Structure 1
């Protein structure tokens, strides 16, 4: 599908008057029309997926070819990285992508009736929206991590039983894992955008007015701050994941400790009972009137002594 902005008038074609052309999963006919009009080559999906810097950022005369992965599937909850191409020519900005990207739909409304729109200003507007959305995603991830921290460190977690709290912490760790995965995808996207911004400033500064230069430089500063924030967020996530694992291990160790103490305390009485269960003809205690109470007391003492020893060592 081919969209062009600003909207064409009745007197002219979209390609002849458009400042920004957006190709969403274009067919061969749409590609050829744009290529012939601007003398460019529209990359296919395989080319956009290339990860080498030389493939993502290159110049051909006065035309800049750039690509970056963007976040798709936000509305459905199934996030994925979708590559998008940006072709900046002196006459128009051409974007191409093969997945539905909310960023392009939102910017379309912003630039549809913008006066004095230029290809570079359209690109700046598009990148600003992408970076703003990246900041929103990181803020949401930070809220998830803050809730997990509150649950782990400030709530009395282990009072309702190990099984229930294990399920609770497993859910917390799943939420943190999702937040970490999404934050890493967002970081990969905005760092790619940062390389694009530096590339545009390096190649186009003489042609950009001061206002546009300031916008691109502000994008660089925003991306640098987002990178620092994501790095800090990653450290918090790692700390909470380690803490959650440690809490589960501590609780499990307490359970194992109780079972170990119980088994050790029970061994001496079993030994006593085993001795008096032997079939010997000569066993004086069998003829004592108090032989049975004596054996019970001996079983009790044999269990009490190791228990008191564990208590004295502060193992229970």
Structure 2
């Protein structure tokens, strides 16, 4: 699908491609493009659009390079934070001095957020690098929102684990907590991966001199890129702290599970110990010896029952006194 945007005054306007041509666009967005759509964009812009396989390469030389007077940058971008399993995928930014082309095969919300925001607010969008800076800022803001939401989820998890000295509830509850911790760790890993690729792009842009071949940041754009670079570094520190929190929550949950298992084993041990003396007494008087004086007593049977009850109560009382129960 091709979506094109042009500037109208100081705002971004979505183009109706049935009436207007791609050559008028400042920003062209390709979402899961077909071969025909790729050919159409390549014909207008004289660019070689990278394939899906090219975008998934992890080498730095495949993610950041210059070709035919254009700058190609690839970052990992999270599609959504609301789904149970958030999707992450590569987004390639092909930057020309006069326009920007984005290529992706998933649906990152941050791209739509930037388009909506730029359509409602006055902003400087005079070149492809201006559009790139705006998109990167929207992506970083989205990642910051995800980290804030995950921090709140971590607090809820912490309260669920440490709500009481000895947590109550069914065993499945802790299993559900473990699943939530697993999802939190996966989300934090995706955010950290996305931040790492954006950090690489911003580091490259701020370190490349204006004399380089192809698009380069100008003096007006450099402070914006440096501010974004600082934001990304700060967010990576937050992500690292949250990763430590997730590991702590995992250790705490496993500790609570061990405590519950110990409690169960302790109950079985106490029951076995309490019933051991009565079993011993019953075994003694169940012996088939001829000379057992108690068998001839009138109160022999009540005495045996009383001894069994007493031998059970004494260990129970000792356990309670020692506060082992």
Structure-1-length-normalised TM-score? 0.87
Deviation at 1:268, TM superposition (A): 1.9
- Of residues 104-113 and 89-98 in structure 1, the stretch that sits farther from structure 2 once superposed is 104-113
Partner Cα separation in structure 2 for residue 205 and residue 169 of structure 1: 56
Aligned residue in 1 for 2:4: 4
Aligned residue in 2 for 1:150: 159
Taking a change above 3 Å as real, the CA distance of residues 192 and 230 of structure 1, as seen in their structure-2 partners, is same
Deviation at 1:181, TM superposition (A): 1.6
Partner Cα separation in structure 2 for residue 179 and residue 217 of structure 1: 30
- The structure where helix makes up a greater share of residues is 1
RMSD of the alignment, in Å? Answer: 2.6
Contact 1:111 1:117 in 2 (8 A): no
Deviation at 1:205, TM superposition (A): 4.5
Aligned residue in 1 for 2:189: 184
Aligned residue in 1 for 2:293: 284
Q: Which runs of 5+ in 1 are unaligned?
A: none
Partner Cα separation in structure 2 for residue 27 and residue 298 of structure 1: 88
Instruction: Confirm or deny that 1:68 pairs with 2:75.
Output: yes
Equivalenced residues, count: 311
Partner Cα separation in structure 2 for residue 109 and residue 293 of structure 1: 88
Matches within 5 A, 1:222-241: 222-241=231-250
Contact 2:71 2:94 in 1 (8 A): yes
Instruction: Confirm or deny that 1:213 pairs with 2:222.
Output: yes
Contact 1:5 1:111 in 2 (8 A): no
Structure-2-length-normalised TM-score? 0.85
Q: Which runs of 5+ in 2 are unaligned?
A: 7-12
Q: Deviations over 1:233-286 (max 9, x none)?
A: 111111122112212321231222122011112112112112211222221111
Q: Deviations over 1:42-64 (max 9, x none)?
A: 11111111122221112225422
Deviation at 1:225, TM superposition (A): 0.6
Contact 2:205 2:217 in 1 (8 A): no
Q: Deviations over 1:87-134 (max 9, x none)?
A: 112232111112222222222234458555211110000000000000
The one of 172, 176, 182 equivalent to 1:171 is: 176
Aligned residue in 2 for 1:57: 64
Contact 1:268 1:299 in 2 (8 A): yes
* DSSP-derived class of the 2:78 partner: strand
Taking a change above 3 Å as real, the CA distance of residues 205 and 247 of structure 1, as seen in their structure-2 partners, is farther
Instruction: Confirm or deny that 1:86 pairs with 2:88.
Output: no
- Of residues 180-189 and 198-207 in structure 1, the stretch that sits farther from structure 2 once superposed is 198-207
- Of residues 276-285 and 126-135 in structure 1, the stretch that sits farther from structure 2 once superposed is 276-285
Partner Cα separation in structure 2 for residue 228 and residue 205 of structure 1: 30
